[in-house]
Amino acid sequence: MLKTLAICVLLWPVAATAELIPASSIYVVDGDTIDVQGDRFRLVGFDTPETYRPKCDFELALGRAATSRLRNLLDGVQRVDLVVLPGRDRYDRGLARLIVQQVDVADTLVSERLARRYDGGKRSGWCK
C-alpha cells in the first residue's frame, strides 16, 4: 500500500491535462504540429513527412497531404480534446495528443498512410 502511494505521489506532477477547446482556436502548422493560442505543440505518437526542407518531392507532396488532412479533420468540428503531456521536444514545442470526435488524429493519419507511428528517437526517411 505504501509503495503504491509513493508511486502515485511521484507520478502526480507529470500527469497529462486534457482540455476541451474550440477547433477554431487551432492553427495547423503541418501534419504533426499545431499552434493553439500562441503555444506550439508537437502531436505525439506519429510522424508526418516534412513540408519545411523536405528531402525529396515525394516527401513534400505527402507532407502537404498530411497537413491538408489534419486541417480537414478540424473543419466543421466545434470542439476537440487537447491532451497536453509533460515535457517539451528538442524544438521547445509542447507535447500533446489531439482527439477529434473521440479519435486520436494519430490513428487517423496512420491508418490513411499519411503518417507513421513514432515514439521518439531516430526517424526513418520518407524518400525512396
How far apart (Å, rounded) are the C-alpha atoms in residues 123 and 17? 27
User: In this structure, what CATH number is given to the domain that contains residue 107?
Assistant: 2.40.50.90
How far apart (Å, rounded) are the C-alpha atoms in residues 128 and 26? 33
Condensed to tens digits (0 to 9), the pLDDT of residues 56-76 reads: 999 999 999 999 999 999 999
Share of the chain above pLDDT 90, in %: 79
Condensed to tens digits (0 to 9), the pLDDT of residues 108-124 reads: 999 999 999 998 888 88
Condensed to tens digits (0 to 9), the pLDDT of residues 24-50 reads: 999 999 999 999 999 999 999 999 999
> Cβ of 41: how many Cβ atoms within 10 Å?
23
Q: Does the pLDDT of residue 4 top 50, yes or no?
A: no
Does 67 reside within a domain?
yes
Does 109 reside within a domain?
yes
Task: Give the domain extent around 19.
Answer: 15-118
Does 69 reside within a domain?
yes
